[in-house]
Amino acid sequence: MGTTYAFASLAGSTGKTTTVVTLGTQLALAGLKVRIVDLDSQANASTWLGYEDTHGKTIAEILRGEATVADVELPGRVIDGVDDLEQPIFGEIDNLSLVPARRATLDKIMIELSAQQGGVLRLRRALADAEPVDVTLIDCPGTMSTLVVTGVLATSISENDTNPGAWGVISCTKPAYKESRGIPDLESQLHVLRDTYRMELPLLAIIPCVVPPENAGRVYLDQMEDLRNVYGNLVTPGIRRSGIVDEAFVNATPLPLYGYRARPVSEDYLAVKDYLAESLGLFCLRTVAA
């Protein structure tokens, strides 16, 4: 049984999708078989991995019980160039697959999941029945909804798996007051879900993203210090603020594959990946190479 993590943050624009796509790509490049599940109605992870507007089945059909993961899953892609008509030519990313989303479909699903008994457990069941992979990363929306509940509950796909660090929630935050307030809100929601569904749903890590340079102001340093004082070793190394992230997204290329200008922020994520694996015991099937 592989490891499954939901990336959740009850504040928008905290670097969650960037983190899912980048860590997923790095883990795939390290030789692990990785599945990314796009559970966000913005579908940014799908766009980043080469499916800006897929016309096939998506996560919506899985959540309705109309499709399996195998029916929906696609290979992660990266733009390799353009053809004579200036259309992109895609290549596949080894070891990386995507359960895609399509814009405007998931908003309707939220109502359906709330209205149907057991609806929020459908993704959990679908992943349990899917072909095993080493690591599953679920990109949840940035506000509390039935989709976030669905993603969080789906991490505990095996009732017999007692391996610490094999499942749970990873949060992303900016070192700013508004975004950091989302973490205690998330903790409160996890407590409610634990009591309601009788599942262990741990908060495993907090990744500070879009971190300004130290000379940007004392307020950012204070927020980072506060995070570490409250959450201790759950707080990973930070990810620097960089305009190259938006550029890589527009060009549908994950940061580790985007070239030398993306190397500094990619190296930040490598440090996070190593911290998650070595210090917090995540991705624990086998040693993840740097």
**Domain presence at residue 283:** no
CATH, residue 243: 3.40.50.300
Q: Give the Cα separation of 67 and 261 in Å (integer).
A: 40
**Domain presence at residue 39:** yes
**Domain presence at residue 285:** no
**Domain presence at residue 61:** yes
Helices (H) and strands (E) in the chain, counts: 12, 7
Domain of residue 165, residue span:
3-278
**Domain presence at residue 287:** no
Number of structural domains, the chain? Answer: 1
Q: What is the structure's pLDDT at 157?
A: 72
Q: What is the structure's pLDDT at 161?
A: 61
Q: Give the Cα separation of 30 and 289 in Å (integer).
A: 6
**Domain presence at residue 254:** yes
pTM of the complete model: 0.93
Contacts of 63 (CB under 8 A, 6+ apart): 106, 109, 112, 113, 119, 122, 123, 150
Q: Give the helix, strand, coil percentages of the chain, each rounded to 5.
A: 45, 20, 40
Count of beta carbons in the 10 Å neighbourhood of residue 215: 7
Residue-wise pLDDT tens digits, 19-28: 999 999 999 9
Least Cα distance to 212 among 47, 43, 15 occurs for 15
Q: Give the Cα separation of 153 and 147 in Å (integer).
A: 10
Q: What is the structure's pLDDT at 142?
A: 86
Task: Using only the alpha carbons of the chain, give its radius of gyration.
Answer: 18
Q: What is the structure's pLDDT at 160?
A: 59
Q: What is the structure's pLDDT at 54?
A: 74
Least Cα distance to 63 among 114, 16, 10 occurs for 114
Which segments of the chain have a pLDDT < 50? 286-290
Beta partners for 78? 91
**Domain presence at residue 289:** no
**Domain presence at residue 220:** yes
